[in-house]
């Protein structure tokens, strides 16, 4: 008997019919939703070395993990599409977009944080945090990133929902694909691709809004006044979203993404993974067969081999075969199997988030254990805490002003006609505040030195003054001349300091003064 009918028979045995519905009607409903019987595979020696892709027709499923996935999908896509329109008041002359990558001004704005090009080490910190968070997630709950948060998963999920809307659920879609190209098939397939392209286009459109004022960019795009590069990027992202989420789907996870390979090397027996509890499920037997086996005193597992877990899988994996590179750990097979178990009156969680160690322990009659606090989880959490604290501290205590210095490479020094020695530098002064500022530049480390800034705004107490506009940086050439006699080949460490004329914290940068 087909496994789907098996479930139906079990329902007739175990469940009471809905009011007004005949049990045979239920049976027919269940049978209509039952999976198709897979084609038998050719013998192993006749199978090609490179198998063609088997198209996956994931079946709709309801349950806890499906609900969690919908919630995560709405939150993540909502953030992606709407974040560019969120405003953040930074005062006059500053952009009011909360998250903005301003390439012309070379700034990155993230709510109250403004990153200058000189501070791109924050990006390194962010990358370390992202990697460690991924490792920690993996140590605790396997590929939870892949199953719920990865953009490829989120957009594929959305595209599959659109596909089901246009072409029907698994069974209907399979039948539709077997039909000739009737008007109905053309219309439904066309509708799917149209909706996919709309989503892909919105995705590309939202991306460019992060690189300029979102409202102005939307206006420019609509009136065809946006720069060509904006249209090019929208086109590119429309194509990649359509291709990756619509056509390639699970192939991205299985063949293209490096994370499953790295993840497999980072996991351990205590990490929670979507696991088929073979200790409970095997040997597989239909409900009737299991009853017969039990009557004879023979063992029968809880798995009735209905294949529901396989049919709902977005990557087409049979989790009963053990850990699999294609399994993104989305938990949908848990929902499917739980529904089957409920229908046949057996305990749920035959497939569950579980650890390898617990399967072994249950086999030996021991209680399952969950060890979230382990060496690796503590280490990852510690790195996240240290890097996070360092970044928070440097962000909280950083100055609004900054200075960087670059010594002239050639010549390193010049001997003047009066015997004094001169070194030249390029000094960049940063003013991150929203008002124009004047800074006094001084040099320490030399006992008798004159400082001159070419293009400076005069002198104050022997120190050249440098004016810098609001939220700008300015580069000036600075000449340092020394009359004292330095030892041959000397390299004297010196410090350049800028002090705002209106008072406030100073900023410094170190360099050297070279003698012949």
Task: For Cα atoms 352, 354, 360, give the angle at the middle one, nearest 5 degrees.
Answer: 120
Q: How far apart are CA 99 and CA 137, in angstroms?
A: 26
Q: Which residues have C-beta within 8 Å of that of residue 126, sequence separation ≥ 6?
A: 391
Structure tokens at 484: 């004292």
From 404, 405, 425, select the one nearest 413 (Cα to Cα). Answer: 425
First vs last C-alpha separation in the chain: 96
Q: Which stretch binds ligand SF4 (CB under 6 A): 25-33, 121-129, 273-281, 418-426?
A: 273-281
Using rule CB under 6 A, residue 253 touches ligand SF4:
no
Q: Pick from 100, 195, 200, 332 the residue near ligand SF4 by CB under 6 A.
A: 332
Which residues in the 68-87 window bind ligand SF4 by CB under 6 A?
Answer: none
Shortest approach of ligand SF4 to residue 159 CB, angstroms?
16
Secondary element (H or E) of residue 235: helix 228-241
Question: Quick check: bond before 87 cis, omega within 30?
Answer: no
Shortest approach of ligand SF4 to residue 314 CB, angstroms?
6
Shortest approach of ligand SF4 to residue 307 CB, angstroms?
5
Shortest approach of ligand SF4 to residue 332 CB, angstroms?
4
Q: Which stretch binds ligand SF4 (CB under 6 A): 174-182, 316-324, 419-427, 487-495?
A: 316-324
Which residues in the 285-314 window bind ligand SF4 by CB under 6 A?
Answer: 303-309, 312-314
Q: How far apart are CA 499 and CA 465, in angstroms?
A: 10
Which residues in the 340-369 window bind ligand SF4 by CB under 6 A?
Answer: 340, 350-351
Q: Pick from 254, 319, 443, 453 the residue near ligand SF4 by CB under 6 A.
A: 319
Q: How far apart are CA 316 and CA 309, in angstroms?
A: 9
Q: How far apart are CA 492 and CA 87, in angstroms?
A: 49
Which residues in the 116-175 window bind ligand SF4 by CB under 6 A?
Answer: none
Structure tokens at 380: 């990852």
Shortest approach of ligand SF4 to residue 156 CB, angstroms?
11
Q: Pick from 214, 274, 300, 453 the residue near ligand SF4 by CB under 6 A.
A: 274
Residue 332 near residue 66, CB atoms below 8 Å: yes
CB nearer ligand SF4, residue 333 or residue 443: 333
Q: Pick from 158, 162, 270, 317 the residue near ligand SF4 by CB under 6 A.
A: 317
Give the orientation angle of helix 183-208 with respect to helix 228-241, to 10 degrees: 130
Secondary element (H or E) of residue 23: helix 23-33
Residue 425 near residue 496, CB atoms below 8 Å: yes
Q: Which stretch binds ligand SF4 (CB under 6 A): 109-117, 161-169, 286-294, 321-329?
A: 321-329
CB nearer ligand SF4, residue 300 or residue 312: 312
Shortest approach of ligand SF4 to residue 287 CB, angstroms?
10
Binding site for ligand SF4 (CB under 6 A): 274, 276, 281, 303-309, 312-315, 317, 319-320, 327-333, 336-337, 340, 350-351
């Amino acid at each position: 008997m087909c496994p789907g009918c098996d479930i139906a028979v079990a329902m007739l045995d175990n469940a009471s019919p809905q009011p007004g519905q005949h049990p045979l009607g239920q049976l027919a409903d269940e049978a209509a939703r039952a999976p198709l019987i897979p084609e038998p595979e050719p013998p192993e020696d006749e199978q090609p070395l490179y198998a063609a892709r088997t198209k996956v027709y994931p079946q709709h499923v309801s349950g806890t993990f499906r609900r969690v996935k919908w919630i995560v999908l709405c939150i993540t896509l909502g953030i992606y599409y709407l974040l560019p329109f969120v405003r953040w008041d930074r005062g006059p002359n500053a952009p009011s977009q909360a998250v903005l990558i301003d390439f012309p001004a070379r700034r990155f704005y993230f709510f109250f944080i403004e990153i200058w090009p000189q501070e791109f080490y924050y990006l390194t910190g962010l990358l370390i945090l992202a990697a460690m968070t991924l490792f920690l997630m993996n140590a605790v709950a396997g590929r939870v990133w892949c199953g719920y948060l990865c953009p490829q998963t989120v957009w594929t999920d959305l595209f599959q929902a659109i596909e089901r809307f246009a072409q029907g659920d698994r069974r209907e879609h399979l039948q539709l694909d077997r039909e000739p190209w009737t008007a109905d098939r053309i219309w439904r397939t066309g509708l799917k691709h149209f909706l996919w392209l709309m989503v892909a286009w919105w995705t590309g459109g939202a991306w460019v809004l992060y690189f300029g004022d979102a409202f102005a960019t939307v206006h420019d795009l609509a009136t065809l006044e946006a720069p060509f590069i904006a249209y090019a990027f929208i086109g590119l992202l429309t194509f990649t979203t359509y291709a990756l989420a619509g056509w390639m789907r699970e192939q991205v996870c299985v063949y293209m993404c490096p994370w499953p390979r790295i993840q497999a090397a980072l996991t351990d027996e205590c990490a929670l993974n979507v696991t088929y509890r073979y200790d409970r499920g095997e040997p597989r037997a239909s409900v009737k067969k299991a009853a017969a086996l039990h009557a004879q005193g023979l063992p029968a597992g809880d798995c009735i081999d209905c294949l529901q877990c396989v049919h709902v899988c977005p990557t087409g994996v049979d989790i009963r075969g053990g850990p699999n590179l294609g399994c993104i750990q989305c938990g949908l097979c848990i929902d499917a199997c739980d529904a089957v178990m409920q229908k046949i009156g057996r305990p749920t969680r035959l497939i569950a988030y579980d650890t390898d160690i617990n399967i072994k322990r249950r086999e030996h009659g021991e209680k399952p254990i969950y060890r979230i606090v382990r060496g690796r989880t503590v280490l990852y959490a510690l790195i996240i805490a240290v890097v996070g604290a360092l970044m928070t501290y440097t962000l909280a205590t950083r100055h609004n002003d900054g200075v960087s210095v670059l010594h002239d490479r050639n010549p390193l020094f010049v001997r003047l006609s009066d015997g004094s020695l001169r070194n030249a530098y390029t000094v960049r002064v940063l003013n991150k505040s929203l008002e124009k500022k004047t800074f006094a530049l001084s040099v320490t480390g030399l006992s008798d030195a004159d400082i001159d800034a070419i293009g400076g705004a005069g002198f104050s107490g022997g120190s050249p003054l440098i004016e810098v506009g609001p939220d700008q940086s300015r580069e000036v050439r600075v000449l340092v001349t020394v009359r004292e006699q330095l030892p041959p080949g000397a390299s004297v460490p010196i410090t350049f300091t800028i002090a705002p004329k209106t008072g406030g914290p100073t900023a410094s940068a170190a360099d050297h003064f070279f003698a012949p």
